[in-house]
Amino acid sequence: MTEASPEQVLKQALKASQVWWQDMGVDAPILPAAQVKPAAVLKPVKRPAQQHTPNTPDISAQMTKATEQAKAAPTLDALKAIIEGFDAGVLSDHARNMVFARGNPDADIMVIGEAPGRQEDESGQPFVGPAGQLLDKMFAAIDLDEDDLYITNVCNWRPPGNRNPNEPELAMCAPFITRHMELVAPKLVVIVGGISLQALTGKTGIMKMRGQWQSLDINAKPTPAMPLYHPAFLLRRPELKRDAWRDLLAIQKRMSG
């Protein structure tokens, strides 16, 4: 695979963030028109071609490394140690902790979110901040607790400034979540949020995809996967909790069937 130029990486990151905002229903600038800077002001600044520092490893080389190392992990503990020791460039340079998983590794349901936030970065545990608390309540509403769930993310590090992980970063983390799913071998996956949906299925548009069963190939076995709205989004759009409730009931029905 050829190395992406800094411009390509930036373009992909901008596209990913635009898709995310569109997923979130944002289709107009938040600032009044007079405050929106004209495009000319936002023109990219010309920089010298060579941008890499020793802390910014070549992403495609890191993807190859991640694939080789993840495949070789025979257990969850081994996978955790491999990710902990992995140089994920900007991601691992800026994060306080690598965030692996919480819950029961023998659970039938694997819940896969996007990337750690501030509280997760500080504690090293996924979904422990306000969004995580809502996620726990959502599952409690269908009688599921930490013992029934195994919770992780498609990206193991909090991106700097709490931005979304960009496409090259998600591609670099993909071998880790793939192996993670193989080792857990869940009966059902809950895909939390648009970024996880894109990372796990290649599909975009959580607003229309939520509630629609997907199938993930895990250990060469089709595994049902339900995309849910991200709880951080539901905190901002509580009127959509009704849809999330429907999706949770569909999960409950599938698990009892």
Residues that bind ligand URA (CB under 6 A): 113-117, 120, 126-127, 129, 131-132, 153, 192-193, 232
Give residue number: closest CB to ligand URA.
Answer: 113
Residue 89 or 231: which CB sits closer to ligand URA?
Answer: 231
Write down the least CB distance from residue 125 to ligand URA, Å. Answer: 8
Burial of 257 (0-12, 13-18, 19+ CB in 10 A): exposed
Residues 6+ apart with CB under 8 A from 241: 234
Interatomic CA distance for residues 156 and 84, integer angstroms: 9
Residue 57 or 191: which CB sits closer to ligand URA?
Answer: 191
Write down the least CB distance from residue 108 to ligand URA, Å. Answer: 20
Residue 24 or 57: which CB sits closer to ligand URA?
Answer: 24
Write down the least CB distance from residue 233 to ligand URA, Å. Answer: 10
Write down the least CB distance from residue 232 to ligand URA, Å. Answer: 6
Question: 208-241 as b/e, with b when 16 or more CB fall inside 10 Å?
Answer: ebbbeebebebeeeebbbbbbbbbbbbeeeeeeb
Residue 13 or 155: which CB sits closer to ligand URA?
Answer: 155
List the beta bridge partners of residue 79.
none
Write down the least CB distance from residue 220 to ligand URA, Å. Answer: 27
Residue 168 or 194: which CB sits closer to ligand URA?
Answer: 194
Interatomic CA distance for residues 240 and 164, integer angstroms: 22
